A and B are shown apart, each in its own frame.
Chain A
Amino acid sequence: MTRGAVLATLALLLGVPAPSFAQAPPYSLLLKGGHVVDPRNGVDAVVDVAIADGKVAAIESSIDPARAARVADVTGLYVVPGLIDLHAHVYLGTAPDSYLSDGDVGAHADSHSFRAGQTTLVDAGGPGWRNVDHFRSSVVNRSRTRILAFINIAGHGMAGGPLEQDLGDMDAKLTAQRILANRDLIVGVKVAHYIGPEWDPVTRAVEAGRQGGVPVMIDFGRNEPPQSLDDLLNRHLRPGDILTHAYAHVSARTPIVNPQGQVEPYVVAARRRGVIFDVGHGGGSFLFRQAIPATRQGFWPDVISTDLHTGSMNAGMMDLLNVMSKMLNLGMPLADTIRASTTRPAEIVRRPELGHLGVGAEADVAVLALRQGEFGFVDSSGWRLGGSRKLECEMTVKGGQVVWDLNGRSHTLWDAR
């Protein structure tokens, strides 16, 4: 609430006329003194960020506070584009036994997004072509968080059980038609949980992606013996397509780090040809046993994402900042962790207007504190790794509106008078 709004509210409560403000300052909000990290625009410096009309209006050193209606001192903090979570599950609903497609295993978007600096969550395959309209009305339109979606190649979406195994319900054409009719919402196609051994879900998803002009995201494996990861990465997937759960080691999926402790050469080759590797932490998909050797060999994630759902939110995953902090403590530079959860996912979902702080961009901003201390991070097998740094969200701004303000930095001190 601005100072003006506070006074107006007080005036209303006290029954006196509201004061008038002759000239509104040009900026609605000024983030002053923070360290801006905006990989897309090559900014990595202490500089002020001014917002007007919901857009980034100026990035300059020493912007005059008098030119803003509301000023937040963010000295000592990092100012970054609003974080984008490429892999979340927010198709929450009350349909019985419907898992992540209108069931109650999904999470409530606004309960998790803003407090972790996220302004955009991408639902990873909750709805399919049959229920994406319902997803829009029941979740997307009711959330303050920007919600995008990978549409599931299964028509009923991620509804669990046999509904996700029905090849007869995986239609590339109908899926593509939904993509083309919902370009504002659908940014990709998801394949998940298919037990195999057929390749049809993957080939149909890729075909739908080709027709719709969007990438596919694959949650691979379930067949025994595992289908070839090399075939998936280097024959089926196109540059720009995404393998999620990069550091998982589950039965029925070949891990990227082999028993000799080496990242499989074909995995490195796939990355080179442009396949995207996404963390997708989740409840069971992030093992230090994979991530530590892989990152030591230089195999860092393209994208850091949560796989948020009720099974991960209170486990080792917790939230996107915790997952970013894990990567930070594994040795990933801060600017790279930010790039992997802003600019990079925006590019991957072909929404380059998001994930950066260029003048004129939608004013989606996260202000992060980098805490120093003794912290611990837990993987999906329950192992703990100590760390000395941890990100905390101080402020989140979406479309110019302050939607989270941990310590009231954008607020005025109470005055007894």
Chain B
Amino acid sequence: MNTGSTLLRLSGAAMVVALASHVMTAQAPRRPAILLKGGHVIDARNGVNGIMDVAIADGKISAVGANLTAPADARVVDVRGLYVTPGLIDIHAHVFWGTDNTQYSNGPSSVPPDGHSFRAGQTTLVDAGGAGWRNFPLFKTQVIDRSRTRVLAFLNIAGHGMRGGPWEQDLGDMDAKLTAQRARQFRDQVVGVKVAHYEGPQWDPVTRAVEAGRQADIPVMIDFGGNEPPQSLDALLNTHLRPGDIFTHMYAHVRGRTPVVNAQGQVEPYVIAAQKRGVVFDVGHGGGSFLFRQAIPATRQGFWPDVISTDLHIGSMNSGMKDILNVMSKFLNLGMSLQDVVKANTARAAAVIKRTDLGHLGVGAEADVAVLALRKGEYGFVDSSGWKMPGTQKLECELTIKGGQVVWDLNGRSHADWTEDTAR
């Protein structure tokens, strides 16, 4: 079965409807079985790291093993020489796009998810605090319900979300109880609570977010800093945050926030201690939050990220960040193993947001899959200060499958070859 012959058999009426809506009928909601043949499967959660076939039926993973036999109706996709991983999860993105002048909260600083996700192997994006308890329902109807990407959310502790200016400084709009109630109301989408951009010096946004997180049993993610002198990073990491809470922008060095690598070039011992006690360190690359000056000494000392994420928004997407694969490739070239890089964006990311149904390829799991090529050559990677690091490896997304549907296929691997006979 292939999409070509399926489409050719469509009636004229169906064709008109398809064209009128400009939607490809080849991706109609039937889900043929797929067999991904001969790829190198990396599934950290299930301890798989080797050449295996992956079979998909009814939108779920139906088998993983060597030399699987294809069911009669399966589309067999040759993925030899490629890596087959769970669909990538980006725990820090900004996709609450809209047309108001409200920055990341229904505003123009956020981007529609589907133009970025699938082409980079991502099947799940987590919006990091765009919406607060007041406007989460709008975010859900406007973005979550209308995107093909799975969109989850950290709810901002500020009720109006990441709206910019004084809206994000208003302690009177940061309510732990209401935030927790909204999180519980939308359990399927809300996976955490976000604190960001607060200029301090009060700790209230953090303590209220942690309280909301406690009430709703979800982690908090902190984008820290903004006060002069900086509030104590040690106190944040080791006094306020719980194991499982997330510190994002880990390799940033911005005013009003103590960096993890100190002036002597050493990772602060209390930062290592925090990671040891279970605080999660997230890259959150963004437009201004990833410096080689931090990341290179830190990783040389063994301080690697728990999670690799983009902080996708209009200011990062066309700069040194680009997409999750570019950020993952940076870490590959810094010396992180491919297995660890993939784990950070799949099994680990899923565990951090307590969505262990995602980020793995166990039999019965939702068939969210990325097929990645590891290109070899001369590449360059740019940080937030504009410095470049050379590299020899770079990931490229060949194929993305979400819920058993092919949603990206760079080189048409899941398609049948055109022949002269096709024309007749």
Contact = CB atoms under 8 A, between A and B. Distances in A.
Interface of A: 1-2, 5-6, 9-10, 13, 92-94, 100, 104-105, 107-108, 110-112, 114-115, 138, 142, 193, 222, 250-252, 261, 282-285, 288-289, 292-293, 307, 309-316, 318, 374-386, 403-409, 411-416
Enumerate the 10 nearest inter-chain pairs by beta-carbon distance, A residue then B residue, closest first. Answer: A382-B3, A1-B386, A384-B412, A408-B380, A376-B412, A376-B411, A414-B387, A407-B380, A383-B418, A408-B388
Contact of A411 (B24, B142, B296, B386): B386
B15 interface: yes
A25 B116 CA distance: 38
Interface stretch (B4-12, B205-213, B344-352): B4-12
Contacts of A251: 12, 15-16
B215 interface: no
B412 A405 contact: no
Given A382-B3, A403-B318, A411-B382, A309 B115 contact: no
Nearest to A374: B411
Given A6-B387, A104-B112, A108-B112, A380 B24 contact: yes
Interface of B: 2-4, 6-8, 12, 15-16, 18-27, 97-99, 108, 111-112, 114-116, 118-119, 142, 146, 148, 253-255, 292-293, 296, 314, 317-318, 320, 322, 378-383, 385-390, 407-413, 415-418, 422-423
Tell me what chain B mostly uses at the interface: helix, strand, loop, or mixed.
mixed
Given A313-B115, A409-B380, A414-B383, A288 B422 contact: yes
Contact of B387 (A13, A381, A407, A411): A411
B7 A382 contact: yes
Contact of A142 (B24, B108, B416): B108
A326 to B, nearest CB: 11
Nearest to A161: B20
A314 B18 CA distance: 16
A382 B6 contact: yes
A309 B22 contact: yes
A298 to B, nearest CB: 18
Nearest to B408: A314
A193 B20 contact: yes
Nearest to B22: A311
Given A5-B386, A111-B116, A405-B382, 17 more contacts: A6-B385, A100-B22, A108-B111, A111-B112, A115-B318, A261-B423, A284-B22, A313-B115, A314-B148, A315-B24, A383-B422, A384-B416, A385-B417, A385-B418, A407-B380, A408-B381, A414-B296
B128 to A, nearest CB: 18
11 contacts: A13-B254, A108-B112, A283-B22, A283-B24, A310-B115, A314-B407, A374-B411, A381-B3, A381-B7, A408-B388, A414-B387
